[in-house]
Amino acid sequence: MRLALGISYNGQAYEGWQSQSSGRTVQDRLEDALSQFAAQPVSTLCAGRTDAGVHGLMQVVHFDTGLDREEFSWIRGTNRFLPDDIAVQWAKPVPDAFHSRACAVARRYAYVLLESPVRPSVDAGRVGWVFRPLDAAAMREAASALIGQHDFTSFRASACQAKSPVKTMKRVDISRRGAYWRFEFEADAFLHHMIRNIMGSLLAIGQGHERALWMAQVLAARDRDAASPTFSPDGLYFMGPVYAPEWGLPTRTAAYDWLP
């Protein structure tokens, strides 16, 4: 049987998603918990890897197992062995043709940013921070240059392993609630550090260091040195992949309602 799981996690304590020799990754902790619950080794494949410090609202993984257990058993049983900052949100049996990464038609991220003269405290590690006022109109104008299919080399980390820098950005939404900004991105796929690099450039424009038209120039340069430095991972959330409705998988978790 092939099983898909929806996972949420606070990434502050981890060296990203992907398994490493240190064992201090979300994948390592998840697979250890699954293996304890199943009483046999379990290896997972995910929809999209996240960096150190990045959070997940609905990471999706799949794995094959010979165990026949109820969905709620996989959820509660696995969560028993997970640390408090990682939790299985849902479990669904899927056809053998399902692949958490290959079947995703899009991926969604949100970046939550605090604009305040004072640094974060209770939300430290969960939000990015700027102390200068931001210009919403300028950032939205700049973000419009990113929509569509482009070569995103200017926003690609040197360690990126993607075969092509060409991606299709479907949506960039920028909103504000009180002192908190929310930047939401949806694309067919993302490059390593792509959103954090875009955020650095959007904030340079929002703070008046660059004009809105500069974003299109950076994109056209196809040169990482043309863009701003990589911004903090603290406020970045992987909202999860988007799948065709016929797979019958959940589209959100409870954490969506908590996120500003």
Q: Walk along the chain (260 residues) in steps of 10 and give the mean pLDDT of each run.
A: 97 95 96 97 95 96 95 97 98 97 97 98 96 98 98 94 94 97 97 97 98 97 96 96 97 88
pLDDT at 259: 83
117 and 81, same domain (yes or no):
no
Q: Which residue shows structure tokens 């809105």?
A: 212
pLDDT at 158: 87
pLDDT at 161: 86
pLDDT at 84: 97
Cβ-contact 72, 90 below 8 angstroms: no
Q: What DSSP letter does each residue of 230-255 carry, written as one string?
A: PPPSTTEEEEEEE--GGG---S--TH
CATH number assigned to the domain comprising residue 196: 3.30.70.660
111 and 207, same domain (yes or no):
yes
89 and 8, same domain (yes or no):
yes
Question: 173 vs 19, 34, 183, 206, CA distance in Å?
Answer: 32, 36, 6, 14
CATH number assigned to the domain comprising residue 98: 3.30.70.580
50 and 125, same domain (yes or no):
no
Domain boundary among 103, 122, 156: 103
Residue 253 in domain: no
pLDDT at 201: 98
Q: Which amino acid makes up residue 235? A: G
51: annotated active-site residue: yes
Phi, psi at 221, each rounded to 5°: -65, -30
Of the residues 51, 223, 234, 257, which is catalytic?
51
218 and 118, same domain (yes or no):
yes
77 and 111, same domain (yes or no):
no
The contacts of residue 113 (CB under 8 Å, 6+ apart) are 127, 128, 129, 130, 180, 181, 182, 183, 199, 203, 235
pLDDT at 149: 98
Residue 257 in domain: no
140 and 17, same domain (yes or no):
no
Count the domains in the chain: 2
Domain boundary among 103, 132, 155: 103
97 and 204, same domain (yes or no):
no
10 and 48, same domain (yes or no):
yes
- Domain holding 98, by residue range, is 2-103
Q: Quick one: tokens of 122?
A: 């209770």
Write 74-80 long-range contacts (CB < 8 A, 24+): 74/3, 74/5, 74/37, 77/37, 78/5, 78/30, 78/33, 78/34, 78/37, 79/33, 80/33, 80/37
Domain boundary among 79, 103, 127: 103
48 and 142, same domain (yes or no):
no
pLDDT at 159: 87
Residue 258 in domain: no
153 and 219, same domain (yes or no):
yes
142 and 229, same domain (yes or no):
yes
